[in-house]
Amino acid sequence: MDWMTNIQQTINFIEVNIREDLEIGMLADKIFTSQFYFQKMFTVVCDCTVSEYIKNRRMTLAGYDVIDTNMNILDIAVKYRYESNESFTRAFTRFHGVTPSDARRNHTNLNTFSPISVKLNLSGGKAIMSDFSERGYVVKETGAVYYTNDMDNTLNWFKEMLGWYGQIEAREENGGGTYGCVNNIPIEIEALHIAPFTGIHMFKGEPLQIMVGFMLIQGVEQLYRFVKRNGWNQITDVKTEPWGGKTCSVTTIDGSVLTFFE
């Protein structure tokens, strides 16, 4: 799913129908996804929830109507889906810091919340990427399959020692993981499908005591320093190979080997 395109289409739909009843389930259905993932990805991409976005846009437009028109305050409240003058006044005051009547009387400069452009908004996603940047290396190619009997423990190892991201997608009745993924990039960015998959598929099973991944990366020496700094010593020194590349191998908490080359 192209989340960037779908979230932008949702925003465009909200803008056109801002005076209508905008239920989250209906918005999710329009892009053929669940309410859970729709709300999660909207928040990641827009830095606010769907409900907050709708409320902030309605309050912005209501502010224009209060200042620039002679409409009755109650009519403005109804226009933007508020059931009473009191509930509208409370919401207006929280957003603008002044009541509608005072804003109209004093021609107050009110707050605004502009429509979001998804591409521009993603450029401000520095917080989500800060740990990713500090790592100092980037995986360029992978897709390995990894077996483990303790998926939660293994997932934590990938996060703590390699600086990766991930989640467990399926569990047994007793709570043990049966399938999950670890990702080189934050899962929120992975879900946008703006880059090829650079993660590892994890399955429940007996760990393989062999090399299970041979991964192209950028920054192999940074990877080495990152792992050592995190206290994991089961990593080989960076070696320059006869073919000109550099490699190092990490033995994981399960005894499997991941080899990285540049």
Q: Give me 262's structure tokens.
A: 């540049």
Separation between Cα atoms, residue 68 and residue 222, nearest integer Å:
58
Q: Which domains does the chain have, with CATH numbers?
A: 3-106 (1.10.10.60), 126-261 (3.30.1900.10)
Q: Which of 117, 138, 133 is nearest to 184 (CA)?
A: 138
Q: What is the dihedral of CA 248, 160, 131, 35, to 10 degrees?
A: 120
Helix (H, G, I), strand (E, B) or coil at 147: strand
Confidence of residue 135 (pLDDT cuts 50, 70, 90): low
Q: Which of 242, 193, 186, 245 is nearest to 214 (CA)?
A: 245
Q: Which of 166, 138, 237 is nearest to 250 (CA)?
A: 237
| pLDDT computed for residue 134 by the predictor | 61
pTM comes to: 0.52
Helix (H, G, I), strand (E, B) or coil at 139: strand
Predicted confidence (pLDDT) at residue 121 exceeds the cutoff of 70: no
Question: pLDDT by residue (tens digit) across 34-71?
Answer: 888 788 888 877 878 999 999 999 999 999 999 999 99
- Name the helix (H) or strand (E) containing 216: strand 211-218
Separation between Cα atoms, residue 164 and residue 131, nearest integer Å:
10
